[in-house]
Structure 1
Amino acid sequence: MFDRHHGVWPANLPLHLVLPQTSLYSNLAISALRYPDRAAMIYYDSPISYRRLDAEVQALAGYLQHRGVAKGDRVLLFMQNAPQFVIAYYAILRANAVVVPVNPMNRSVELEHYAEDTGATICICGQERFEAVTPLLESGRLEHAVVASYGDYVTEDTDLDLPAEVQAAAQPIDCGDAIHWSQALHAGHAPGELEVGPDDLAVLPYSSGTTGAPKGCMHTHATVMATAVQSVYWSHSTSEGKSLATLPYFHVTGMQNGMNAPIFIGSTVVLMTRWERRTAAKLIERYRITRWTNIVTMAIDMLADPEIESFDLSSLQNIGGGGAAMPEAVSEKLFKLTGLHYVEGYGLSETIAGTHINPFDAPKPQCLGIPVFDVDSRIVDTDTLAELGPNEVGEIITRGPQVFSGYWRRPEATKAAFMALDGERFFRTGDIGYYDDEGYFFLVDRVKRMINASGYKVWPAEVESLMYRHPDIREACVISTPHERRGEGVKACVVLVDGAAGRVSGEDIRDWCKDNMAAYKVPQVVEICDSLPRSPTGKIMWRALQEQEWPEAKAG
């Protein structure tokens, strides 16, 4: 067991946590019993109590079971941050089913993969995404949809700027296979017995590797419970605190820190559907927010507001997150403004958020942190897989109570994702890093081809797979390209089919991509090439293209 970091372990925290042996829904049931009248959520100045939250969860769970959802069935959750996301998430769990969170930026073609891969027949979506769901209902790929309008939960007057999706009134649904959210809740169906426990599947967040379409990460109630509970203890959060939820709930960091952890302790979440720095600052001041987990770009954006010093942010007790390294100059500005250090962490979809977090009393800049409760992380040689020592660069491997059980219906990918060391099963993260003499871990590079565009993870193989649907594309290779604002962006090198040259431009392909994939995946640059470099075995040499785009990468 790696223990080099025990010398900098946070004061007054145990090295080991005994985790609850219950379902995630049990956390909500207990908090609703303890704090029925406390606001579980405040949504643009409109509170929703724990009593109401649990009642609506039960009503929707009963409706799902009435529609045939049984234990272990997968249900798509295709929605932006809103009270309905939280209700739907816990209703699916209460119905003994499995949540499949889907990025609401995805298009119909992308959504179809999630439906086919999971076998899901029901989708719960925001009304602004219903247009992407409709083709799947028409084709029979999905049997039913529940459609929510976020503004229904803004019941109090507010001076806050509301996103367009929240301002929009509920629209009529002209589809026999779909029902409005309120109709589902008022259908009068009570759920049956809660049958799931810690070892049952709870959530299937999707992640991509270097090849193929996105893969579902199988997380049980126990693995999701692990990082939710660990997050609470590590941050010294209490039921009296308030969290600002700005990270998307479909993403594991937002899901755990902005939803599951606060519900576990019965605290209040102040929820935003879309990021807007001035609204966030107003909410911190208005509700005396104590905890804000974000991505670095959000913190940078807020601090860039020329009027930020006019807001009272003194209630904040901790600010942290990840997505990219926090620039030192921004960190210093944050400390000057709040007296708080930005605490960085590290985790993956496969670990349902954090495995490493910096100690709040001793963080290091541009650092992943130290392994948290009961996490054993090592560095191994990328070729021999032999364990390496401090300050030696290799692949980060990890094991702990939050590590997933494998990829959904991908036995070969699951096998490749794990290795044995010291008689234990470790997950291979695919990330290159090292740890220092004190046991702090640092990221150096990525084995995987993931592109980090302002905190959004773009997987080249997935974008390539979608681009191959274009009738005029013969070959496509996606790489990262320097981007002034995002740090790195997406570039596609494309070879056209015979006869398409001169007829199809890079801009034409970009327009097609905008119609068929989430905006953050769309290549900023499409380069039409006569050919792509190939290895002796015929594989496209993406690394050679990447080195041409980033000449310094070759030297590294």
Structure 2
Amino acid sequence: MDVNSYTYHHPTRWDAQFQLASLPELLEQTVAKYSNKPFLHFLGRSYTYAEMHREAQQFAAGLIARGIKPGDRVGLFLPNVPIYASAYYGAMMAGAIVVNFSPLYTVEELAWQVADSGTRLLVSLDVPELYATAASVLECSELETLVVGSLADMLPWYKGLALKTLGRSKVAKVAYSNTIVGFGDMLGDPAKTSFPPIDAAQDIALLQYTGGTTGRPKGAMLGHSQLAMNAQQTAGLNPFGDPSNEIFMGALPFFHVFANTALLNHAMVTGGSIAMVPRFDAGQVLDTIARYKATGFPGVPTMFQALLDHPKLAKTDLSSLKVCISGGAPMPAPVHDKFEAVTGVRVVEGYGLTESSGVVSANPYEGVRKKGTIGQLVMGTEVILLDKEDPEKLAPEGEPGELAVHGPQIMRGYWNKPETGNDTFVERDGKRYLRTGDVAVMDEDGFLEIVDRIKDMIAVGGFKVFPSQVEDVLLENDAVKEVLVIGVPDEYLGERPRAYVTLNDENATAEDLCEWLNARVGKHERVESIVIREELPKTLVGKLDRKALRAELGI
């Protein structure tokens, strides 16, 4: 659908022109305007833009002095801590490509991704679990240098002192050497350093690994232009006046593409602040929102459910919040409605992918929105719907199709996979569209709704069943808290749906829920059983994980 055929409800024009620049260039511009403004709040200590920028320059100088050259890969194996930002932007200032690694990776997972990316230097933390994993990878891989930050040094002085003296078991005993270096010792002198030029249009800034729907994860190559454009597109969604006044709740992990754009780079390009926590903890998040008067909270649906479940919620002042943005997975309607009813805060859903630098669409923060949809496209972004059976054709008018996206934020391709072809991109009318694998519909107002994933569809006797549609019905039952529907083998029909649920009501039975559900869905959508569980598998950022459930069950 042509964007000119419907009313565009975002506050910035769809055809707005954004600045083509590298992330370090945008950071310098922000520092020039907001030098002494807080950029990061971390457990009681605040860091200004000038402080973070200076440390980033020093880290860049240290990298260059250690032989890191433009295009070399520098890995970040960190939770949400202040040195993430200085190492992230500092590596880019040195012309390096940042590689994000989840701090929950095992030795095997980290070693494989270090090898695949060719990471030369890795930044981590003196937390025992992280340090042990990183040090093991240093020994068993081609990794050359491990840089270890001190958590105590990032805290207010009194908390840092307490950690060093009373919490010694929580601090790793780092074996410093020529190859294991303290973060402070990596900081060089920018005045004596020649920084390489950065070509925003051509240079890769970040390797962001996908979750890997099949096989090994793939490294999406995101250039400076893609990341910078998507940060500006995200900033263009803000209707609330001066964006430098915004204070974002930083509970999403920075290593994830959603947080990388919607939190870190978004705040950086606008002069906003981030009140960050090392990892998601519902009680700590509520305390942080109240303490710093957070105005925006990007999260995933399970975070909002966790806040609803927490006893502190009713006593916490959330009046500063203007909007919560839910992404990463569809938000169940009962969670959406209950969170708004309990908190009085508007929740809007959005959509994005690793391969799109983070954000493709969102519901407007004010005015018109449509619950259950992923909203309208962000500025400069176009989509087509492809036929589910033949991606060379468009989907029939009015029918669901595979969502394919074109825009300035779309990745260059996958790292070390030059053969990437029609399974990833499709050419149409001279434009290259990213195939998302998500099945969507668009209404007459330009609002998109994700129906399901191509690979998640269940084939029942020749009919296609969308798991999400069955899940949506089951979530209408107040006894059901979370649900995943997968296909299980069936001798007669090929596959049949089966539902796995967690409960709000411990008295509910699988038999009663099954009977209730099957009376409300089509014949081919009826589940063969419902399995009640204490918990369902989730991804690193808290999304319900259908792939992990299938793997657990050997399906």
- Into which bin does the TM-score normalised by the smaller protein fall? 0.7 to 0.9
Q: Quick one: which amino acid aligns to residue 373 of structure 2?
A: C
Cα 1:174–1:297 shift into 2, 3 Å:
same
Displacement of 1:13:
2.3
Identity of aligned residues (%): 27
Aligned to 1:145: 146
Distance in 2 separating the partners of 1:432 and 1:183:
50
Displacement of 1:528:
9.3
190-199 or 1-10, which deviates more? 1-10
Aligned to 1:247: 252
1:16 alignment partner, SS class:
coil
Cα 1:23–1:46 shift into 2, 3 Å:
same
Distance in 1 separating the partners of 2:21 and 2:345:
35
Query: Contact 1:391–1:437 at 8 Å: present in 2 too?
Result: no
Asked if residue 16 in structure 1 is aligned to residue 15 in structure 2, the reply is yes
Query: Contact 1:173–1:180 at 8 Å: present in 2 too?
Result: no
1:484 alignment partner, SS class:
strand
Asked if residue 228 in structure 1 is aligned to residue 231 in structure 2, the reply is yes
How do 1:123-134 and structure 2 match up within 5 A? Answer: 123-128=122-127, 129-134=130-135
Cα 1:101–1:367 shift into 2, 3 Å:
same
Distance in 1 separating the partners of 2:412 and 2:17:
20
User: If the length of structure 2 is used for normalisation, what is the TM-score?
Assistant: 0.78
Displacement of 1:71:
0.8
179-188 or 87-96, which deviates more? 179-188
Q: CA RMSD in A?
A: 3.4
Distance in 1 separating the partners of 2:65 and 2:368:
52
235-244 or 204-213, which deviates more? 204-213
Displacement of 1:244:
0.8
Query: Contact 2:252–2:541 at 8 Å: present in 1 too?
Result: no
Displacement of 1:30:
1.9
Displacement of 1:96:
0.7
1:59 alignment partner, SS class:
helix
Query: Contact 1:4–1:437 at 8 Å: present in 2 too?
Result: no
Query: Contact 2:299–2:325 at 8 Å: present in 1 too?
Result: yes
Displacement of 1:120:
1.6
5+ residue gaps, structure 1, are 456-479, 488-516, 530-544, 546-556
Distance in 1 separating the partners of 2:5 and 2:167:
45
1:77 alignment partner, SS class:
strand
2:420 alignment partner, SS class:
helix
2:245 alignment partner, SS class:
coil
Displacement of 1:265:
1.2
Distance in 1 separating the partners of 2:225 and 2:373:
28
Aligned to 1:551: none
Asked if residue 430 in structure 1 is aligned to residue 403 in structure 2, the reply is no
417-426 or 287-296, which deviates more? 417-426
Distance in 2 separating the partners of 1:405 and 1:48:
33
Asked if residue 184 in structure 1 is aligned to residue 207 in structure 2, the reply is no
Asked if residue 377 in structure 1 is aligned to residue 380 in structure 2, the reply is no
How do 1:443-522 and structure 2 match up within 5 A? Answer: 443-448=450-455, 482-485=499-502
Distance in 1 separating the partners of 2:420 and 2:211:
11
Q: Quick one: which amino acid aligns to residue 372 of structure 2?
A: Q
Displacement of 1:272:
0.6
2:89 alignment partner, SS class:
helix
Q: Quick one: which amino acid aligns to residue 354 of structure 2?
A: S
Aligned to 1:103: 102
42-51 or 319-328, which deviates more? 319-328
Aligned to 1:38: 37
Asked if residue 6 in structure 1 is aligned to residue 6 in structure 2, the reply is yes
Q: Quick one: which amino acid aligns to residue 135 of structure 2?
A: T
5+ residue gaps, structure 2, are 458-466, 469-480, 483-496, 505-539
2:433 alignment partner, SS class:
strand
Displacement of 1:248:
0.7
| CA deviation profile, 1:357-394 (whole Å, cap 9, x unmatched) | 11222222221222111111111102233223554111
Aligned to 1:64: 63
Aligned to 2:222: 219
Displacement of 1:319:
0.6
Displacement of 1:328:
2.4
| CA deviation profile, 1:112-164 (whole Å, cap 9, x unmatched) | 222222222111112331222223322351111101132321115579x99x9
Q: Name which of 264, 272, 277 aligns with 1:272.
A: 277
Aligned to 2:120: 121
Q: Quick one: which amino acid aligns to residue 423 of structure 1?
A: G
Q: Quick one: which amino acid aligns to residue 399 of structure 2?
A: E
Displacement of 1:73:
1.1
| CA deviation profile, 1:452-481 (whole Å, cap 9, x unmatched) | 9x99xxxxxxxxxxxxxxxxxxxxxxxx98
Displacement of 1:187:
7.6
Aligned to 1:554: none
Q: Quick one: which amino acid aligns to residue 213 of structure 1?
A: R
| CA deviation profile, 1:236-255 (whole Å, cap 9, x unmatched) | 36111111111011111111
Aligned to 1:397: 404
Distance in 2 separating the partners of 1:39 and 1:426:
39
| CA deviation profile, 1:78-104 (whole Å, cap 9, x unmatched) | 111110111110111011111110111
Displacement of 1:405:
1.0
Query: Contact 1:218–1:404 at 8 Å: present in 2 too?
Result: yes
Displacement of 1:110:
1.2
Asked if residue 368 in structure 1 is aligned to residue 374 in structure 2, the reply is yes
Aligned to 1:76: 75
Cα 1:158–1:314 shift into 2, 3 Å:
farther
Q: Name which of 410, 417, 420 aligns with 1:413.
A: 420
Displacement of 1:314:
0.8
Query: Contact 1:63–1:190 at 8 Å: present in 2 too?
Result: no
How do 1:148-227 and structure 2 match up within 5 A? Answer: 148-155=149-156, 168-169=170-171, 171-185=173-187, 190-199=192-201, 200-227=203-230
Aligned to 2:85: 86
2:58 alignment partner, SS class:
helix
Asked if residue 328 in structure 1 is aligned to residue 327 in structure 2, the reply is no
Distance in 1 separating the partners of 2:111 and 2:208:
15
Distance in 2 separating the partners of 1:22 and 1:6:
31
Displacement of 1:29:
1.6
Distance in 1 separating the partners of 2:503 and 2:28:
41
User: If the length of structure 1 is used for normalisation, what is the TM-score?
Assistant: 0.78
